[in-house]
Amino acid sequence: MRTREQQIASLAAAIYTGAAKMPHALKEAETYILEAERRAEQRVRAETANQEEYRLSKHGNAYANAYMGNDND
């Protein structure tokens, strides 16, 4: 996996050609990379929350049924 800086440099080179526009391209590329990282982190958090909610609902019902004396989940 490439570092963030390597990804930014590569994306900046793909966005613009020529040295005059390079500082702007680096900043724009950094913005794209950081936004992609932020969205990926949000997806991971949402998936983790969904898994936790499922686990708790499944096991929570089993615990509640056992406590109440019910035989079904």
pLDDT tens digits for range 9-63? 888 777 776 655 667 778 888 888 888 899 999 999 999 988 888 877 777 666 6
In a domain, 38, yes or no: yes
In a domain, 61, yes or no: yes
Q: What is the pLDDT of residue 40?
A: 92
Structural domain harbouring 43: 4-68
In a domain, 57, yes or no: yes
In a domain, 12, yes or no: yes
In a domain, 25, yes or no: yes
For residue 25, with 0-12 CB atoms within 10 Å meaning exposed, 13-18 middle and 19 or more buried, which class applies? buried
In a domain, 59, yes or no: yes
Q: What is the pLDDT of residue 43?
A: 93
| Closest-CA residue to 3 (of 25, 24, 22, 30) | 30
Number of structural domains the chain divides into = 1
Q: What is the pLDDT of residue 10?
A: 80
In a domain, 48, yes or no: yes
In a domain, 73, yes or no: no
Q: What is the pLDDT of residue 45?
A: 94
Query: pTM of the full predicted structure?
Result: 0.54
